[in-house]
Structure 1
Amino acid sequence: MTSFSKLLKSALLAVAFSAFGAASPVDHPTRRSFTIGANLQIEAFHPLSTFETFGAGIDHPLSKRSKFDLKSAAISFVGSHLSKSASSVAFKSGFSGEVSDHAFLAQMHDGIPFANAVANVAFNKDNKVVTFGSSFVNPSKSFASTTPSISVESAISIAEKALDGTFNNHPPTIEFFAKPDNTAVLTHVVQIQNDATGAWFEAFVDAHSGELVSVTDFVTRASYLVLPMQEEILTQGFQTLVDPADLTASPLGWHSTGTTNTTHFETSRGNNAISFKGAQTATTSESSDALNFIFKQDPTLAPTVQVNLDAARTNAFYVVNTMHDLTYKYGFTEASFNFQNNNFGKGGVGNDQVTISVQDSAGTNNADFATPADGQSGRMRMFLWTFTSPQRDGALENDIVTHEMTHGVTNRMTGGGTGRCLQTTEAGGMGEGWSDTMAFWNEQTSTATPDFILGQYVENNTVGIRTHPYSTNPAVNPLQYSDLQTRTEVHSIGEVWANMLFNVYANLVGIHGFSSNARRDPTTSEGNVVFLHLFIDSLAIQPCNPTFLNARDAWLQADVNRFGGANACALWDAFASRGLGVGAANHTNSFLLPPGCPSS
């Protein structure tokens, strides 16, 4: 079943001008196509996820027990709701959030999990089920034998040859894989990387026939002189920020590698991230004692001169750590699969700081982020941009670094830390949209919501790298849900989703106002605080490989979970204004609001 048709930049911050691809829009929710090398095409299949929300919640079979157990409650609910035996449901991971508890499960057969038949259940603090997502399948034909016919070594060789890479020694697994013809094949699952191209795949090789069935593409393309997070481009000015680390999110600061006896206090390396060029030993050292990283970028010189390289490594390190602390405050913690070497006994796997390769030699005019499962480092690569002379460095444009880091957040939180659950074309498109959304959230400074343009600096172009500015004005940005009928490339789909969320943001800030301290204090009630809570909360409750409809419903349920549904009409108004109203389906618009929500 080998066929994925689009450039292998499934999550690159590509310049998305007007080439929207050629895939059929009907495939958005279940498939994603790539071209790998000169000849290999692979079409990845993901069973369509169902998604149900239950408002204030419903009981599950173990509701009357005096003590709530997440694993038992989730397995019993899935078994009851889908009429599955307990042996066909396995608990994979879970965590307890501020307003809800989350369980992530896999379908099983003869003790072997399915890779692409998964489920997730969220419980509110009253021990009631509030959301349920599932891509469980009912294969119509007999299952393949659970005893492989070919060895894992043979599977590795097949995958290495097909994907032009090398096995990275991550432990292989045996998993079933559901195919579009409603059969289930047994597969060896191995990770293949190519350091020269940056490719990083999880390959599913039929353990009987040796066929490459599918792949997961993990790539989604102290004091510091830096560009502050609320600034987008260098002309707005660098500032020296003193002790910007949030010690409630990074208890040992940014330069400890996770122990008090670290040997890296003085470099751009720490528990959350390491910023380097070429080799991970090539970090930036402090410019003077006392953790000062003061490197004044000279725009008249090439980005590769030492001071500019040090400025780039410093800025990228600052943005990634700031994003770590920000998203931590809003719920992307150790238990919910974030990126840290030392998780301080708070859950999750650990040993997975973000690696930031600045001025990476593998490409130009782009950036990417690879998100493997919890316990393996997220990998960010920032490239030089060649549209100007001297060239410009993407690591010095905050919205690009923020965009890439957000891929790690959304890929980890959707589906329970596997990195497998934003793989369809539609879900991958929303991944791009969430990343643009986090960029514009970080650069707001008041209740005003001016149009937002992404990527101005690297191209020296006020139009930016998207087809339209993000705007509440349909004359400036006319994109609607129905545009997915013709937009079939992930970045162009992402523009539709990000513009919807821009309108959600504007509605919430218009109603609740703006907090200038939202990065540090998530406990207040201003609109930008409310928005980011709903952004993060919705990721964990939406199903694997969500559609626009699933994600909209996850935002609405997240509002019920945290705010009692107080913002329902504001959310519906924004979504419906762009075609995602009551009755929207199959990429056909609806502008209807639910009863009780007046039109604006």
Structure 2
Amino acid sequence: MLPTGLISLALLLAGSVHGRKTMGWGHTSPEHRFVVHPQVPASFLAEDAAPFDVARQFMNHIYPGDYRIRQDSYTDKATGVTHVYVKQQHQGFDVFDGNININIKNGKVLSYGDSFYKGTPNREGSQVVLNSLTADSSSPADLRKTLMNFMIIAAPSDRATSELEVNFNQYLEGIDVTPESHFVEGEQPYTYFSNVPTAVSPVKGKPGYVQTESGLKFVWKFEVEMEDNWYEVALTPDGDEIPFVVDWAADSPIPDTLKSKDPKPATYLLFPWGVNDPSEGNRSYVYENYDSLASPLGWHKIPASSLPSGYFAPTPPKKGDIVNFTTTFGNNVFAHENWEGRNAWLHNERPDGGKGLNFSYPYDPQQSADGQAEAHKFINNTVAQLFYTSNLVHDLFYRYGFDELSGNFQQHNFGRGGAEGDAVIANAQDGSGYNNANFMTPPDGQNGRCRMYLWNTASPYRDGDLEAGIVIHELAHGLSTRLTGGPRDSSCLGWGESGGMGEGWGDFLATIIRTHNATDEEIVLPMGAWAANRDKGIRNYPYSTSLDVNPSTYKTLDRPGYFGVHAIGEVWAEILWVVSKKLIAVHNSSDTLFPPKPLDDGTIPSEDFYLPPSYDNKGRAEPLVPIHGNSLIVQLVLNGMKLQPCRPSFFDARDAIIQADEILTGGNNTCLLWSGFAERGLGPDARVDGRTPWGGGIRTNDYSVPLSCITDEPEPTPDTL
């Protein structure tokens, strides 16, 4: 927990990313744990027991206090695993950082993550709650002052900070407070704060608790959307302390079952999928090669009932209509220019492919005294490229399990569950900065926002929208944030190793997607090299299995310069890259990561992508298992995200990937996976000594593998309960 007097120091440590100030810190419970194969009473092992009944029995067994099961819990259609998300409560209020996630299949608890508060709440905390709802000093109306003080800290510039300080009372009086008129049973309702300076939408707030080193502390949690940030922040009612703050925006800086009546596909003249950037190939004509399972309507259609709020059509559609767009506007992605760099997007300019949906535009930038103006000439090509890449990423992630129930980004969910109305808002050539990209991931049901920038690293300027790896990295932030800890909790990857892995998954997925010859052990792949005009890219090292090229190990995180999430992330991405090569060496590599499309009857052919279908003893189909190493590691990484706890460590994420293989293949690759992790120091005996709730500690590498991988003897299973 940081007193407001230490915020300037925290901001110095958090840093700014090319003019975009950002903050992120919080308390991690020292009792945080991720337990695989927990010991449970025999009564829990009824195979036909309902998963939520198993979850309640399990919770009552391990925790005697109050809790609620979150509504975004779901059963994964691909694996059959039910992911149950549990929120700790105290005196009817949520403990915002008290989370348990339970993974259940066939009546069995496979694993669980636990960050519940285990201490005895003090009486002072209870009295604060009672007073906070009655005393004038802590009423929502007076919380305006607390919120204003945070806005001064979060203000994007010194000029904005000064403006808020000088005119504090004027802005304070302009804030309107409106209680929520409806609420979800078991949860505290939100209070809305309108006209908050530098916020671009009403600020949502609700009371609750957070964990601190001294016990539970009563706070108000706010969701603050700004032009360049989207904060989830906990504030004590007096405004003196900020226990945690998470920025839902993540950067990639340079160092320093409906069917359409009109199935005609669109045509694009673009850099095709597999060409990472203009240095790797030429543009060619490609088609709207959408996946019929992931995008039943294709990429340019939206049901009228799911059009974004504020959209105006010359001819208002009827409720049951499917609206066909001739622009880069569809169910998964809204792509457009954003030269002004503002929050408004709905009516920004988009290329129009006409009735034939032909998106073919020139792209031939030349050296110019005004690099920005030269880049703007080719905006239609840029927006079309961003739209094409983003839709393919949506479809690819969908086929590996990032679907409606697990929190993907779609305006319409086709009755498949999850919260809808949250297609990705994709800003091309965003005018709010250079040499960067970022993605904002609010909880399920709110639009994700991808901002791509020009890079003034060369003449002519280089356009980040044209480097697929950067786009994939940004979209992967939405993937990892929604899958970790459940789709309606965006606070799980905010800082430290957790925040770093959010960056690392993006780099890893971008790297494995671009790989043309995944079996080449000598391949060296930098991240962002073309946009940055820098051979080694935007990381300290390019990705390679060679220790001479990339020497990163788990212990590397102790080195100076590895405090920030991007440096942490490249270590995690390198570890995953080495793990992927272990699987590829045994299982070879597929030419494509896209699974075969479903047949007319909805079944998915195995072809040469999956192992032949298998069934359990009750005749139920088991999850399809990718044959090849590159497709298998992508599947295991995504499945692992669903299994791991909120705010995972490297150890948690490693164990979740290994358990994902146990669930998917019966553990056929356990030792391969361990050998990959161990090669970069993340073996079973790797450890951190002296870790504090805020991070830090001294790491020790372990290059060994479990005894069972050497002797075939099973590992002893500790009694974890």
User: After TM superposition, is the score higher than 0.5?
Assistant: yes
Q: Match for 1:578 among 677, 680, 683? A: 680
For 1:78, the equivalent position in structure 2 comes to 59
Q: What secondary structure sits across from 1:368 in the alignment? A: strand
Task: Normalising by structure 1, report the TM-score.
Answer: 0.89
For 2:465, the equivalent position in structure 1 comes to 395
For 1:194, the equivalent position in structure 2 comes to 226
For 2:201, the equivalent position in structure 1 comes to 168
Equivalent pair of 2:407/2:482 in contact (CA under 8 Å): yes
For 2:299, the equivalent position in structure 1 comes to 254
RMSD: 2.5
- Closer, same or farther: CA 43–242 of 1 in aligned 2, 3 Å: closer
Distance in 2, matches of 1:495 and 1:453, equals 11
Which whole-Å deviations, capped at 9, do the CAs of 1:434-479 have from their partners, x for residues lacking one? 0000101111223424121111211222221111111111111111
Alignment of 1:438 with 2:509, yes or no, is yes
- Closer, same or farther: CA 155–167 of 1 in aligned 2, 3 Å: farther
- Closer, same or farther: CA 358–6 of 1 in aligned 2, 3 Å: farther
Deviation at 1:520, TM superposition (A): 2.9
Distance in 2, matches of 1:161 and 1:533, equals 43
Which whole-Å deviations, capped at 9, do the CAs of 1:459-503 have from their partners, x for residues lacking one? 222221111111111111111100111221111111111011111
Which whole-Å deviations, capped at 9, do the CAs of 1:159-186 have from their partners, x for residues lacking one? 234323327225432221112x232122
- Closer, same or farther: CA 495–565 of 1 in aligned 2, 3 Å: same
- Closer, same or farther: CA 157–347 of 1 in aligned 2, 3 Å: farther
1:425 partner amino acid: G
Distance in 1, matches of 2:384 and 2:84, equals 37
Alignment of 1:51 with 2:30, yes or no, is no
Deviation at 1:368, TM superposition (A): 0.5
Which whole-Å deviations, capped at 9, do the CAs of 1:409-443 have from their partners, x for residues lacking one? 00110010111101131111111110000101111
1:93-112 to 2 correspondences below 5 Å: 93-97=72-76, 98-99=78-79, 100-112=81-93
Which whole-Å deviations, capped at 9, do the CAs of 1:385-411 have from their partners, x for residues lacking one? 111122111111100000000011001
Q: What secondary structure sits across from 2:575 in the alignment? A: helix
For 1:28, the equivalent position in structure 2 comes to none
Q: What secondary structure sits across from 2:346 in the alignment? A: strand
Q: What secondary structure sits across from 1:93 in the alignment? A: coil
Distance in 1, matches of 2:41 and 2:434, equals 53
- Closer, same or farther: CA 273–393 of 1 in aligned 2, 3 Å: same
Which whole-Å deviations, capped at 9, do the CAs of 1:550-593 have from their partners, x for residues lacking one? 11111110010111111111111111010011200012101011
For 1:480, the equivalent position in structure 2 comes to 553
Q: Match for 1:285 among 351, 354, 362? A: 351
Of all paired residues, the percent bearing the same amino acid is 30
Distance in 2, matches of 1:73 and 1:174, equals 30
Deviation at 1:356, TM superposition (A): 1.0
1:124-523 to 2 correspondences below 5 Å: 124=105, 126-140=106-120, 141-142=122-123, 143-144=125-126, 145-147=128-130, 148=132, 149=135, 150-159=138-147, 160-164=151-155, 165-166=198-199, 168-169=201-202, 171-179=204-212, 181-195=213-227, 198-207=228-237, 211-221=241-251, 222-235=266-279, 236-259=281-304, 261-263=321-323, 265-278=325-338, 279-300=345-366, 302=371, 304=373, 305=375, 307-417=377-487, 418-449=489-520, 450-486=523-559, 487-521=562-596, 523=610
Q: What secondary structure sits across from 1:315 in the alignment? A: helix
Q: What secondary structure sits across from 1:381 in the alignment? A: strand
Equivalent pair of 2:48/2:107 in contact (CA under 8 Å): no
Distance in 1, matches of 2:431 and 2:142, equals 32
Which whole-Å deviations, capped at 9, do the CAs of 1:294-350 have from their partners, x for residues lacking one? 123213264655551111111111111111100100100000011111112211111
Alignment of 1:542 with 2:644, yes or no, is yes
For 2:164, the equivalent position in structure 1 comes to none
Greater shift in the superposed pair: 381-390 or 409-418 = 381-390
Distance in 1, matches of 2:398 and 2:646, equals 22
Distance in 2, matches of 1:427 and 1:130, equals 22
Q: Match for 2:700 among 581, 588, 592? A: 588
Whose Rg is larger? 2
| Number of residue equivalences | 567
Deviation at 1:202, TM superposition (A): 1.6
1:295 partner amino acid: Y
Distance in 1, matches of 2:61 and 2:292, equals 44
Distance in 2, matches of 1:532 and 1:335, equals 19
Distance in 2, matches of 1:431 and 1:210, equals 30
Q: What secondary structure sits across from 1:597 in the alignment? A: helix
1:244 partner amino acid: N
Equivalent pair of 2:24/2:247 in contact (CA under 8 Å): no
Which whole-Å deviations, capped at 9, do the CAs of 1:187-214 have from their partners, x for residues lacking one? 222222322xx12112222236664433
Which whole-Å deviations, capped at 9, do the CAs of 1:506-536 have from their partners, x for residues lacking one? 1111111112232133634111121111010
Distance in 2, matches of 1:291 and 1:329, equals 26
Alignment of 1:555 with 2:657, yes or no, is yes
Equivalent pair of 1:92/1:105 in contact (CA under 8 Å): no
Which whole-Å deviations, capped at 9, do the CAs of 1:7-54 have from their partners, x for residues lacking one? 7679x7x89xxxxxxxxxxxxxxxxxx976xxxx87422324200111
Distance in 1, matches of 2:141 and 2:293, equals 45
- Closer, same or farther: CA 161–463 of 1 in aligned 2, 3 Å: closer
Deviation at 1:291, TM superposition (A): 1.3
In structure 1, the gaps of 5 or more residues are: 16-33
Equivalent pair of 1:255/1:264 in contact (CA under 8 Å): yes
Task: State the structure with bigger RCO (CA 8 A, min sep 6), 1 or 2.
Answer: 1
Distance in 2, matches of 1:42 and 1:567, equals 36
Deviation at 1:245, TM superposition (A): 1.2
Distance in 2, matches of 1:103 and 1:183, equals 26
Distance in 1, matches of 2:639 and 2:702, equals 25
Equivalent pair of 2:504/2:573 in contact (CA under 8 Å): yes
Equivalent pair of 2:455/2:464 in contact (CA under 8 Å): yes
- Closer, same or farther: CA 546–167 of 1 in aligned 2, 3 Å: same
Distance in 1, matches of 2:403 and 2:240, equals 39
Equivalent pair of 1:505/1:531 in contact (CA under 8 Å): yes
Task: Normalising by structure 2, report the TM-score.
Answer: 0.74
